Amino acid sequence: MLYDGKLLDTVTMHCAADDNDYSDNDIICISFTASAFKRQDTIDNILIGGITFESTEAEINQMFGEPTDNHEDSSHFSSYLYLIDKKWLTLSFNYGHLNIIDLNFGGK
């Protein structure tokens, strides 16, 4: 998705390979990344469900509680998954800094 001609987020939609009309397709996932957000210079801050890219792991845990699932690896990368109203929110951190916000709505 573009805002003022700059990439703001990525939208994944359910569609067939030969589909020429995307207007009736379901959105499966919206993904915001800190790197894409930092490359644009129009918006100073973005708030997604009370979360910004400045939010800490502790603030997010206080806001949403314990995650439904989480993944951590030895390279300082971690992901927290929250199941909210049958939809998935995935928050990924690198060295404690939030760098990916995924809102997954499912699909057909």
This prediction has a pTM of 0.78
In this predicted structure, what is the pLDDT of residue 25? 76
Using DSSP's 3-state secondary structure scheme, residue 96 falls into: coil
Residue 19: what pLDDT? Answer: 73
What burial class does residue 64 get, using C-beta atoms within 10 Å of its C-beta: 0-12 exposed, 13-18 middle, 19+ buried? middle
Give the tens place of pLDDT for each residue, 20-37: 776 667 888 888 888 887
Contacts of 103 (CB under 8 A, 6+ apart): 29, 30, 31, 48, 49, 87, 88, 89
**pLDDT score recorded for residue 81:** 94
Q: Which residues pair with 90 in a beta bridge?
A: 81, 102
pLDDT of 107:
61
**Confidence band for 88, pLDDT divided at 50, 70 and 90:** very high
pLDDT, tens digit, for every residue of 32-79?
A: 888 887 777 777 777 888 888 888 888 888 998 999 999 988 788 899
The domain limits of the chain are: 2-104
Model confidence band, residue 91 (pLDDT cutoffs 50, 70, 90): very high
